[in-house]
Structure 1
Amino acid sequence: MYVTQRTYIERMAIKYGMDKSKRVDTPIPAGTSMVDNAGLPLDDDKPFRQIVGSLLYCAMSTRPDIVHAVAQLSRHLSTPHQLHMFMAKRTVAYLLHTKEVGITVWTNLLEIQAPSLVTLSSTAAEYVGACLGAQHGMHLDNLMNELGLKDNGKTVTLYLNNQSDIAIGSNQSSVQSTKHLALRFYFLRDLVRAGKFKLVYLPTNVMPADVLIMHVTGDKLRVAMCFMGMGGYCGFCP
């Protein structure tokens, strides 16, 4: 099911005086420094807080492409300045001119959640994430086999953004940084060894998750949106 918030966005743009705004292609331009003292402080910070709250609702519902922008703006709720208000309104303008964009909602979307395990390094954290991804991959692989939609023996590709995790998962590296993890997380090695999975490095410049943690622009933003189920916007996918 494809869900948008077109009506909500239109009303939000009217409420904050951005319904006649010019088109912008990114929430916040790349290279923008959201420092604390950016211009003069606002006389009344209530409108800024209202805008950020409205943007947060969109970000958490159907527009993950503005998550990073909202996170940056939220850091200045107590003492907003002119630049922060300008960027908040720019994000509203971005939503208005991409109001047809939404997200594909799957039946099991609510079952997907961050792992509760506390790890001691980024390598360990990403390796745990890779193992959880492999579990979902195995489930889908088995389902497709039962439905006769997949060739038996075909390898499943799991893309990772950490070379150390690929080495660990391929049994090509020592496990000093992950030796504290439970043995159940090492089943990924067995899958790779059996030829059921292969681990492939995905460079940072094409990593779709970057849109959640940094300013992303251009084709990278559009392709990332397609990866997140916001298809049809990038021009590269149906």
Structure 2
Amino acid sequence: MSLHREMLEGGVLRLTLDRPKAANALDSALQAALVAALEDAGREAAVRAVLVTGAGGRVFSAGADLREDLGTHTRRLRREALVRTLLALLDVPKPVLAVVRGKAVGGGGMLMLLADEALMETSAALSMPEIGHGMPSPIGVSILLARGGRGVAQALMQAGEALTAEQCLAAGLAAAVHEDAALEAAALARARKLGALDARAFAANKHWMNAALCAELLRAADRAAELAKESADAH
């Protein structure tokens, strides 16, 4: 299985992106499993909060699996799968925390940013390298503008720079930074604390907080499709 599910004490569900040999890249199977697990977590009364982490410790997720061939419409199908995954993350009515060790890259960084909170290990880093590959990313820009503002979007998306865990903390992209030995306990304690809050109130607030971004992601996906068509027509 490319996604490992584990129920922890206090109603905390841990979802581990489990493709360490592929840098936990988001292929179609992993994304489908993640979407299903997030939807299940939203419905299951026993689940109070969710932790999302990556196997291996070196990379949280390298983002979209660019080696996966989905046929004639690979780029479109890859983009649609990513949008489904991101919206599923935003739609979970319960607390979702990203536990980030190593690098969070591209789509992996988007997962981190769209969790309710991200807890990072001291040597972790966030990067959005799309511009270095000549790839515009309206989806990434929209997320960064919503989560960190124009300055953060400029650094990550336009300049292609990486941010350290401490820089993410300073920019409000991470809720906390911990040494590796303390990260697991801190994440579990935070998940339990958030999960113990009034579930209906949390869900209502979260839906309202994310409503504008959900709409913006769909608009950004449409723009990404237009740009892809323009690029194809030019060639």
Say which structure is richer in strand. 2
Q: Point out the structure with max Rg over C-alpha.
A: 1
Higher relative CO (CA 8 A, sep ≥ 6), structure 1 or 2? 1
Shorter-chain TM-score: what band?
A: under 0.3
- The alignment's TM-score, normalised by the length of structure 2, stands at 0.23
Q: Kindly indicate which of the two structures has a greater share of residues assigned to helix.
A: 2
TM-score relative to the length of structure 1: 0.23
